[in-house]
Amino acid sequence: MSVVIDPNAGFCFGVVKAIDAAEQQLGVSHRLYCLGDIVHNNEEVERLAQMGLCVIDHKQMATLTGATVLIRAHGEPPSTYEMARSRNITLIDATCPIVLALQKKIRDGYEQMAAIGGQVAIFGKKGHAEVVGLNGQTGNTAIIVSSPDDIDAIDVRRPLRLYSQTTMSREEYNKLISNIEARIAEMRVTDADFVAYNTICSRVANRATQLEEFAHSVDLVIFVSGVNSSNGHYLYEYCRKVQANTKMISSPDEIDEAWFAGAERIGITGATSTPSWLMEQVRQRIESIANN
């Protein structure tokens, strides 16, 4: 029996950068506030909590003065920066550079649309931290579209600029664009001013294809993910379609040795929020079961 860890699994560089920033600061101060979970993985959050990282929400931030607060990779709306200024809070801004560039793009699009009576729409999950940060660039006036069929709030007769949250499915985004174009045709809008920007992170967009190849190459997939990771659930379901023999766990203790019967090649993979050290622990656990 051989055990292999998916070489493409593990944190994306945006999350790595945020965790590096937290560890660096904790090495100096042993105490750091973080606005929201730094990553959707309880094991990693717990590891950093033991080093002194304390997760807070916006209400708790509003009670602090003179503290140091980390902004995670998802980014924040302008109101968070204003709050920090007014409360003398030092920010360590670990917003992913890709998200930061998207925030700027949306801000520019918003200004352009505001001048000509147009609209900004964002394809993303309502209430998701990244979407809150993106919508903040438009003074919270963007139309948030959560599903490709959810286009009734858009007026296709007015100018429209469309953007996507970085972690959405490219397939669904393309479907949304097609639905808007179909609505334009249906309403016979001959002078439509509609631009859709490709703003999905390639790290996420390519992950499904890479995962498909990996799942095909093994007899059993152990998918490691935090239970609260939406990316984890999406990728797990995707993986299961390719390799029916896929099991999801959040820690090595959940492994059941009965799964290994008849499996020659076992693959370990995970979400973009699954730490490499956790997948390594899973590998060691499988090998110790096999050796006994």
Q: Which positions from 223 to 262 touch ligand SF4 by CB under 6 A, shown as an x/- string? A: ----------------------------------------
Q: Which is nearer to ligand SF4, 96 or 221 (CB)?
A: 96
Q: Could you tell me where the DSSP H helices lie in the chain?
A: 13-29, 42-51, 58-61, 78-86, 97-116, 129-135, 170-186, 202-205, 207-216, 230-242, 276-291
DSSP 96-154: -HHHHHHHHHHHHHHHHHHHHT-EEEEES-TT-HHHHHHHGGGTS-SEEE-STT--TT-
218 interacts with ligand SF4 by CB under 6 A: no
Q: Which is nearer to ligand SF4, 161 or 203 (CB)?
A: 203
Determine whether 130 is an active site residue: yes
The one among 3, 5, 9, 12 contacting ligand SF4 by CB under 6 A: 12
Which of the 8 DSSP states describes residue 89?
A: P
100 interacts with ligand SF4 by CB under 6 A: no
Cβ at position 217, least distance to ligand SF4 in Å: 24
The one among 134, 142, 180, 204 contacting ligand SF4 by CB under 6 A: 204
Cβ at position 229, least distance to ligand SF4 in Å: 12
Q: In angstroms, how far apart are the furthest CA atoms of the chain?
A: 71
Spot the catalytic one: 44, 76, 130, 264.
130
Compute the distance between CA of residue 218 and CA of residue 203 in angstroms, rounded to an integer.
23
Nearest to 180 by CA among 195, 201, 200, 164: 195
Pick the piece of the chain touching ligand SF4 (CB under 6 A) from 9-17, 82-90, 114-122, 274-282.
Answer: 9-17
Under 8 Å CB-to-CB from 140, ≥6 apart: which residues?
77
Pick the piece of the chain touching ligand SF4 (CB under 6 A) from 11-19, 153-161, 178-186, 273-281.
Answer: 11-19
Segment 115 to 174, residues that bind ligand SF4, using CB under 6 A: 166-167
Catalog residues that contact ligand SF4 under the rule CB under 6 A.
12-15, 73, 96, 98-99, 166-167, 201, 203-204, 272
| Catalytic annotation, residues | 130
